[in-house]
Structure 1
Amino acid sequence: MNKLIKMIMVILLLGAISVCVQVTCWADFEDLGVGARPIGMGNAYTALADDVNAIYYNPAGLAQLDESQFTSGYGKLYWGLDDGSNLGSGFVGYAHPLYHWGTLGVGWLNFGLRGLYRENSFILSYGNTLKKKLLAGLNLKLLSKKYGKTLYTENAIDDSGNTTGERDPVFSKGYSKTGFSTDLGLLYKFNREYSLGLTLTDINQPHMDLKDNKSRVPIGIKSGFLYNSDFLTFALDTTFRNGDVNVYSGAEKWFSNRTFGVRAGLGVGSRRFSNLALGASYAKYLFQFDYAFLYPLSGIRDTYGSHRISLTLRFAPEKEEKKRAREERLAEIASEKAARVELAKIREKEAKMLEERRKIEIARNYYKEAIEVYRNGLYSESLGKLRFAVELDPKRPEIQDLFKKLSSIADVISKEMGLEREAELIRTGISYYIEDKPRKAITTLQYAFEFAPKNKEIPRLLNVLKREYPAIAEQEKISEGMTLVEQKMYRALNYLYEDRSDLAILECQEVLELEPNNTLALSRLGSAYYVIGQKEKAKELWLKVLEIEPENKEVLESLRKEGVIPPKKKPKVPSKREEMKKEFEKSLGYYRRIEKSLDIDDRIGLLQSIIDKFKPWGIERSRLERELRELKREKEKKKVKVEKEKKETKVLQPTLPPKVKVPSEEKLIAIKEKIEQKFREGVSDYRKGDYNGAIAKWEEVVKVRTDDAELKKLIEKAKVKISKTKEKKIKKMKKHYTRAVAHYKKRHWGEAVTELEEVLKLEPKHKQSKALMDRIEEKIWLTVQEERKKNMDKYYNAGLAYFEKGEYGKAIAEFEKVLKLEPIHLQAQRLIKEAMEKAKKR
């Protein structure tokens, strides 16, 4: 660039200060400050930023505003330059609080040299409180600059000093440039007195040069500290921009109830930069007038300094006056109001305590009812009662535990009311599971499955137990070819041989709980007691065996050794009829316990099954048959009543158009129960982590219960869970995949495969993992093949060496190793034959 162009740029950007020995220069969109108040504090305003000027200094400070503010200011820079340059800067800004949504601000900043150069910055600003003490803000800026046309720009001068008659190459693409920029601000208020501020300006570093594409507006970093007391405000800022480091400090003091204010500031930094600032303010009601004087202590000389003025308007009644008036009014009624508030709090607390006690009591009753109902085999009904208990007393652990277990059971089987042995075993096994007796639960259900191998619900119940108690389930796994009782008897026998009678006793007792008259279990239990010295207990058990099986030789021999003479008379064995009568009484007792919980169809069905089961045994059942007839008549009456109501409706409204069919009361109840079942299934899916399943079921419920706000909240919560689970899953997949790639690069194939398997567990269709797995498998195959070839060559060369030495036996051994690796290795086959022939000749 020739001397004339350099001189023009100096005029445009530096105010044509050619007479100075030291010149302080600036680039595009230099930080010159706005507002007379901040400039009067030496531009140390990052951590203060408590008015509309925060738009420029730190947008996070906008969140401190309680009222709308407007400011307008103008500054004449370096007044008195001997070349008559007229450098000016102006700023207009407006900030409007949006209450809980933060504060929005707009601003316009102008800087220019009349007729030659002008910069404009249009700012959209927003600030809000992130946390109690942390404020944040953002600026979006539209930047524009424009140069004026002159004789020199339109008629360029070449290096020889001659005019070319053409436009200067710098302005070949025009005289203006526009760009977008962004600022970010943070403000942390430790308390009323201390604050820290941080502002990042021009984060995206926009390109604003007319010709040089590499030239950009540099990013700026401002950090600030503030001490603010009733006596004095002190601020300290440090800025980093384009390799320069500057430090600004300022202080401010107000008088006469914040009517008059004075301030001063000092700035020092790189390239011998130093400025002195002074300022003053006058504030009254809703306006404030500020003045600032800025004088360069180095660099520019022979100037009267820069002068700034600004006017700020506040669009709200003065808050301090309103606050004082309110405090005075509150003070007059403070004692009375405090007493009322305290009394209200006490009453509210008492009411809450009473309500909590009431809820806990109701929850306890539901909990007790749920226990009673599940013991009778009505699991869905028990879960329904328990859901109310959970809603009323969600913190009670036993309720939560029972709800979790019943949810798992109700997903498999809603009720079990059968009178057969398998139904009784299922109810017993489920009761053991709920009562935290997993070992007994598993063995009881396994025994039930042996009774009813076609029952599809028992394996599903066992799967529930296996998922929750995998170690116990593995321990109780039944060996192939054995029944549960056979396995336990086999274990008991082994324990007796190993002198572990305590474990043998446990195995025998578990068998007797399932089969009380199992003579082998009674016999071995007696033997176990005998080993540990409880001989009387052993004799008692052996005698019981003889009551069931009088000719048991093993037991007879054991008793004779102990000097016990077995009873000669055969014990009276109860007849089959007596046994069935006891079973009848047991079944009838079960029916009486649950009849109130059953609808009329279930009651009829259960009564009919009891009558049919015990009819061949001649047991008195006339009372039950009469009860059954009454129930059937009652059902018939209801049916007739419903049909009559339908006919009457048709007679009374013959001419009306057809209406939507209204469900009967029974159907409505059925629909309600179905909806409740869907809701419970959704809860169960949600607890298991199947959030999609829960949403699908709950959305069906919402179609009926359209005004259920709580359910809609649950659906939204499940959607959030899905999103979080998905994010967590992606993060976990990324972690494993990154590790796999790292292992792959290090040729650690095994570790890489392990990591990729973890990814594919989470997402079986993950393409990158599958592709990398294929590459690893190929690498492993190649490595194996290379190792195989290496070993094969090693064995072959060793065999060849032995062959040449005449050690044919060793040669054959080496060649056979080759054939193990490569069965069709022709050279090895040929040399083995030759070695064998030569060995024979010897």
Structure 2
Amino acid sequence: MRRRFLTILLWGLIIFPTPFKASERYHDSASTARSIGLGGSVIAFPADPSASYWNPAAIAFLTADQILINVNRVSKLNYTGFTKYFPPSFGMGVSLLQPPGQTNMNHATIAMGYRYNSMIAFGSNLNLGKTDAGKTVSSFGFGFFFRTFPEYNPAIEVNNPVWRWLRSSEMKNKFTFGLVFQQIPVLNSKNEQQLAAGFSVKPWRIGPVIHFAYHLYRIDDSFHLGSHFNLYKNIELIAGLQDFDIRLAAAGMGVVFQDFCFDFSYSFHIQSFNFSLRLKLSQSDKEAAKRYRGKGVKQVRNNDFFGALKQYQKALAYDPEDESLNLLVAVLKERVDVRKYKIDSLFAVGKKMEDNRWYIDAFHAYRNALEFDPKNKNALKNIKKLKPHLDQYVNELFGRSKIAFENNNFAQAETILKKILSVNKLHQGANLYVSKIDSIRSSSFSEYFYRGVGYYNQKNYKRALQELNKALAVKPLDTEALRYKNLTLESIEFTKNEIERLTREAERLERGDNFVKANNRYRQILELEPDNRYAKEKLAYLKSYISKVVQSKFFKANHFFDQKEYQKAIGAFREILSIDPTHRASKDYLNRAQQLLTEQLDQRYQQALTYFEQKEYENSLEEINYILSVDNKYSLALSLQAQLMSNISLKNLASQGEKYFQKGDYINAQKIFSQILAKNPENKTALTYLRDSENKIKKRIEELFNEGMINYSEGDYNAAIQVWNRILKLDPYNSSTLEYIQKATERLRALDSIKEE
């Protein structure tokens, strides 16, 4: 609120100034506390809004909007000015001043500065005044400003050694140069032209900045020397003199407090003080850069690279040292250049289409240009100019589409209507007729398409292809229907080749009296093609032999069951089911055996607990290891095993581990030696046994996986699952094994459904 009030007050001083007096000479005009303190040597110094008068080019480097007022030796307001920055390149300044030596003249300056790049700027100003007699005078001027500034864009390579030195980080703002041609007459101000040149240099990293300026008038000239030095981060000392005359010297200081800057100076020649106040009205450069950067991100997300480039260039103007911003601007500029080339090509195509009266094609060309640059004025202008011709052509096309519709030529009508809608999506007539065509086609297409998808999911590819072809006859370009047709054709080709391969293998196995594996091959054929008559006949032919094999294996499995060798019984029943998935007795016995095996393991766990409570740890561990050899995920056994190993002495553990290793029980050996190493990491014997156990386990897993793959490839899925389950006892989370067990299980389910049919 306080800042808003102060801003309104200062603007009031600009709009309603006190009667200012005009200048005697150029270097005496726009006299502010800072310019007086520096001896008038400010041609190459973009410090404050008074630069609008001294050198209009310099205001292009004033990135902060600010207002300045100055009070002279008689405590009168003799200068007020305002600058506004328009990123990335323009600065504007307005000044009202009362030069010394005059009583009845007001003087105003309006300036504009243009930043060519981070080092060079040009500018111009217009000066207006009025004499006591009411005579209006005016003049204008031109300014040039140069500063040394590093090149932070990594995409730009500087080859010239001198230029590379000027653009190095060591030369940042070490040298500036300004040149002004001022008071060029416009109205009633003849023979007052003035030329001023100046430069500043900072010879040392820590030390003063030295300013020098030379002003040339029609009748005389003057020299100006000044210096400023940062005493502290917010305090600056200034000093200067004119014509190298110590009597014309001045000195002062500047103090910065938040957004305020106070300048004081004292002129020894006229023995007077001057005071200036500058107020920064805009946010900091870093905050401004962040704001424009955020806008650039939004433009990129909206695919507007032209707008994004402008926003990032504005951000870079506030933060030119940010390497990421420099890189972003370089990358965006490359993309914009590519898009400009494409837009130019589209304009050429659009013009050609227009000349040939192909108005829809011309419209598309101009609209495609807008996709590259949504705000392209030429594209918008061309579309607007094209509209009357386009409307007439669309009306003609709509008439043709209605005729085609009435003649039941829906394909032709739809093609014409789509052309119309590509230009005007809201065309009521076109939308109405398209909906009519869609309604007619929708019912029949949906029926054919979903029926085809259903057959495809059932792997009945022949029927699926028939239905999908009917659907595509209604909607030839429907992407989903085309996709499913391609998938169906691929599946038909794969199924055909696979059936031929499996048939050859089955016949070879049959000739070798390997009827079980031959039976599996014919079942695989039925899995691929449920209606395959040859495979069904062969399965019926082999059924009597397979029944004898199944009966013999069932007798053996039942023997294991009666002997309470449930683990062996489970393996035997699964083997039977791999031969005949519909064998009901084996399914029942398998379920019972699994249930009884679980009860048996529970009993042995209770026995292990009893041994543990009696502190017979070795006997308890034997029971636990047996349980885990059958079910390696038995959580209670795993927990008790950990307790047992912590209670058994290292010597006994080592002995137990060696016994397991000699028996080939590498899992339990691995657990025991891991426990020993947890207690004694330096035990080399345990480390050797652990590594040998792990290598044996890896080798065994590889052997079992390959054995299972052989059974899987031969269609003996149950046998494959039995082998792979043995891997899971060694490594319960083996990803390849789990994946193939799932695949084999799915194939068994499919075969079950075929058998039941």
TM-score for the superposition, normalised by structure 1: 0.29
TM-score w.r.t. length of structure 2: 0.32
> Which structure dedicates a bigger proportion of its chain to helix?
2
